[in-house]
Amino acid sequence: MNSFTALVTGANKGIGKEIARQLVAAGLTVHLGARDAERGKQAAEEIGARPVVLDVTDPAGIAAAARAVGELDVLVNNAGILLGGAAPGESDVDIFRRTYETNLFGVLAVTNAFLPALRRSARPRIVNISSGTGSLAWSTGPQFPHAGTSAAYRSSKTALNALTVFYAHELAEAGFKVNALAPGLRATDLNDRAKAEGDDPAEAAAAAVRLALLPDDGPTGGFHSWDGTTAPW
């Protein structure tokens, strides 16, 4: 997909920055989205990307970014937050609202803003960075026996998985490939556990890049684990 253009949200650090780096290495023109202009500029300069100020919770900023980017073939919705680790019975409603504002509504807003550009692409691809903790199958089995902790974050990723399926159905006839990725626990600033126990973000980024560069006969509407296997809903 050389000469193609990509946008990665939340890409001034962590998995997002590594996804942007690997897409640049694959020959794409990459727009690196970041809320902070200076941090975004610095990260973009480090990897050869183009910075774009993009706060996924700011409608005016999203519209401005869509005008600035113009043409687009690949959208990676990576921006996400985790606010505390409380179970639902111990959670403040505002924590849920703020989490969903970024992790779900932000994805909806950004995707819809860039759909006109993606529709002009010959090979439109959307990758939503989800979480294995958003899997209801794993949450009700032995994989994540956390007794409902981080309920806001985990449920927002479950909802993101559903949104991925709905976009995949809506856009299938237009040639889109829309998929969600469970990146695994990575050494990022998401929370203290990720910092202490997480693995290399580059490994997860490579999986995201594979989904971003899917051939025309590739899957759509799927939930994929970082290791190439299918994650259960």
* Catalytic, out of 96, 138, 144, 153: 153
DSSP element (H, E) containing 46: helix 37-47
Structure tokens given for 160: 């993101």
How do 5-8 and 125-129 pair as beta strands? unpaired
User: Is 167 a catalytic site residue?
Assistant: no
Tokens of 151: 């309920």
- Cα–Cα distance measured from residue 103 to residue 77, given in angstroms and rounded to the nearest whole number: 9
C-alpha to C-alpha distance for 99 and 46, rounded to whole angstroms = 29
Q: Which of 114, 129, 132, 156 is nearest to 211 (CA)?
A: 129
Tokens of 12: 């001034």
Strand order from edge to edge, sheet including 223-225: 50-53, 29-34, 5-8, 74-77, 125-129, 177-182, 223-225
Residue 9's nearest CA partner among 42, 57, 48, 46 is: 57
For the chain, how far is it from start to end, CA to CA, in angstroms?
30
Give the catalytic positions in this structure. 153
